[in-house]
């Protein structure tokens, strides 16, 4: 078996059917199996997928285990020389799986590779190209040349001889050697959603290069989920679940000091963003208390981070999944 394609189902049967249709239509020269792990068997609509593709392997989880734990179960059952971690809301438009297989067979120093994401209309989707580029977005600071220079000095971009090499691979499409997973381990099971691909990439990168092949692309439809961000603004760049996962990643990969520094930064910024907005409001219409919704959302999200402060700080082994009452993005829509 060349490739084990692992897909997580959470109430997305039609997306998976569309994804599998694109795989079977465009993939050639590859012996592959498909493993679907269902995080909600009771409501997941799995029968629709199994009726359409009875040959696939199906694994039912007993609870919504999130992205990492479910993929780990899929990898345990996988028989391929390579694993392809693939989102349900994706489509392949050519033999990208076959090209990844050939490249990985030819370049044995690569531990894992990814394909470049495109929107449904075929335009390229932006992505973070390094750990430090990602970390710099965590700071809520006024945009300016001085701030950019300071952050670039503190968090410089890595330099590689191979132009295809990167720090980390987006979890929607990760083509990884089985041996690299055996040495590095699977996804960290403390992550529920978001951040797990970043942390995993750091460990996989110690086993070999991580590369994006420039001629390998796929469509990422970005299916809606209840943990996506809303009310997006300069200070609310991430959803509450994203923020919890981001800080968990900082703690795991960069240690206690970096984690405490980020938490302190968010706490300091609460009065700063309120004072700045109130001064702006006075200048605009004389009412300092108008249009402060964004600031209150940021404060509530920071409060959610504090709910997970001690478990994150002390490295508790648990599933860092926010509660419905902490899902500020969903609550703020009402």
Residue 188 near residue 252, CB atoms below 8 Å:
yes
65: domain range?
3-220
* Residues written for the chain: 334
What pLDDT is attached to residue 233? 79
- DSSP lists the bridge partners of residue 209 as 110
What pLDDT is attached to residue 46? 94
28 & 177 share domain: yes
In this structure, is residue 225 part of a structural domain?
no
191 & 73 share domain: yes
What pLDDT is attached to residue 229? 55
pLDDT digits (tens, 9 = 90+) for 205-248: 999 999 999 999 999 997 655 555 556 677 888 999 999 999 99
Tokens for 72, please give them. 């780990």
Compute the mean pLDDT over every residue in the chain, rounded to the nearest whole number. 94
pLDDT digits (tens, 9 = 90+) for 258-270: 999 999 999 999 9
Judge whether residue 74 has pLDDT over 80: yes
- Across the range 304-314, mean pLDDT stands at 98
Residue 332 banded pLDDT, cuts 50, 70, 90: confident
C-alpha distance from residue 98 to each of 20, 115, 180, 193 (Å): 15, 12, 19, 29
In this structure, what CATH number is given to the domain that contains residue 124?
Answer: 3.90.550.10
Q: How far apart are CA 220 and CA 52, in angstroms?
A: 22
193 & 250 share domain: no
Residue 80 banded pLDDT, cuts 50, 70, 90: very high
pLDDT digits (tens, 9 = 90+) for 148-181: 999 999 999 999 999 999 999 999 999 999 999 9
Total count of domains within the chain: 2
pTM (predicted TM-score)? 0.93
Q: How far apart are CA 65 and CA 61, in angstroms?
A: 7
Judge whether residue 3 has pLDDT over 80: yes
Task: Give Cβ neighbours of residue 88 (< 8 Å, ≥ 6 apart).
Answer: 7, 8, 9, 10, 12, 15, 16, 19, 223
Task: Give Cβ neighbours of residue 284 (< 8 Å, ≥ 6 apart).
Answer: none
In this structure, is residue 79 part of a structural domain?
yes
């Amino acid at each position: 078996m060349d490739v084990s394609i692992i897909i997580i189902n959470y109430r997305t049967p039609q997306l998976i059917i569309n994804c599998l249709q694109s795989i079977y239509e465009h993939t050639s020269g590859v012996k592959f199996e498909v493993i679907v792990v269902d995080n909600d068997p009771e409501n997941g609509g799995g029968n629709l997928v199994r009726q359409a593709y009875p040959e696939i392997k199906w694994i039912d989880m007993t609870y919504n285990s999130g992205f990492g734990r479910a993929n780990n179960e899929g990898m345990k059952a996988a028989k391929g020389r390579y694993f392809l971690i693939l989102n349900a809301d994706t489509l392949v438009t050519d033999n990208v799986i076959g090209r990844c297989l050939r490249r990985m067979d030819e370049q044995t120093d690569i531990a894992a590779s990814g394909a470049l994401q495109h929107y449904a209309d075929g335009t390229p989707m932006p992505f973070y190209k390094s750990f430090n580029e990602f970390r710099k977005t965590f700071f809520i600071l006024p945009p300016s040349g001085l701030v950019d220079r300071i952050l670039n000095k503190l968090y410089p971009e890595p330099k590689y001889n191979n132009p295809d090499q990167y720090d980390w691979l987006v979890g929607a499409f990760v083509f990884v050697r089985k041996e690299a997973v055996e040495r590095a381990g699977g996804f960290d099971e403390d992550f529920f959603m978001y951040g797990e691909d970043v942390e995993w990439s750091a460990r996989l990168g110690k086993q070999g290069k991580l590369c994006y092949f420039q001629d390998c692309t796929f469509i990422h439809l970005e299916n809606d989920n209840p943990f996506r961000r809303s009310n997006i603004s300069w200070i609310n760049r991430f959803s509450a679940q994203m923020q919890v996962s981001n800080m968990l990643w900082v703690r795991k990969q960069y240690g206690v000091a970096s984690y405490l520094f980020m938490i302190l930064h968010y706490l300091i910024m609460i009065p700063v963003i309120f004072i700045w907005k109130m001064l702006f409001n006075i200048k605009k219409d004389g009412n300092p208390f108008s249009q402060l919704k964004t600031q209150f959302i940021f404060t509530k999200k920071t409060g959610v981070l504090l709910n997970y402060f001690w478990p994150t700080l002390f490295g508790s082994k648990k599933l860092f999944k926010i509660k419905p009452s902490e899902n500020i993005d969903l609550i703020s829509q009402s």
